Amino acid sequence: MQTLDVRQAADLLHLNQKRVQSLARAGKLPAVRVGRKWLFRRDQLEGLLGGPMARTGQPMTLSARNRLRGTIAAMRVDGLMAEIQLRIGDQDLVSVITRSSAERLGLREGDQVFAVIKSTEVMIGTGEPE
């Protein structure tokens, strides 16, 4: 279990530190006061970020059927975007997501993740790749 101070919790939630303290005092954020400091459990705050499904305790279900499990082989974070290279078997898949999404998910090289592909068009090719 990882605990966060007010500054770390504010960074995770993308809120002002004073707002985080106010929400904790009002009982709207799960926190414990130790002396003059507020402490937050990271897993509880991350659960709040997950929205309604996180509150149910049920696994997330999606309508997309194309889910590929793999390992993050490389990450390049630059400015507002993050390029994630996912290794699936002997193939690589590259995804570009926002930096804040990568940080919110806590993505790191070597993590086991899955790619969800939702598209109205999938092309099939034969022969050798160009």
For range 24-42, the mean pLDDT? 91
Is residue 125 situated within a structural domain?
no
Is residue 124 situated within a structural domain?
no
CATH number at residue 44: 1.10.1660
Hey, what are 89's tokens?
Answer: 């078997």
What does the pLDDT read at residue 14? 83
Is residue 27 situated within a structural domain?
yes
Residues 75, 113 share a domain: yes
Give the whole-angstrom CA distance, residue 108 versus residue 112.
9
Q: What is the pLDDT of residues 4-23, one digit of tens each?
A: 999 999 888 888 899 999 99
Q: Which residue has the higher pLDDT, 123 or 19?
A: 19
Query: SS3 for 24-86, per residue?
Result: HHCCCCCCEEECCEEEEEHHHHHHHHCCHHHHHCCCCCCCCCEEEEEEEEEEEEECCEEEEEE
pTM of the model: 0.50
Is residue 122 situated within a structural domain?
no
CATH number at residue 94: 2.40.50.100
Is residue 21 situated within a structural domain?
yes
Residue ranges making up the domain that contains 90: 66-117
Residues 42, 75 share a domain: no
Is residue 33 situated within a structural domain?
yes
Is residue 107 situated within a structural domain?
yes
**Domain count across the chain:** 2
Residues 75, 35 share a domain: no
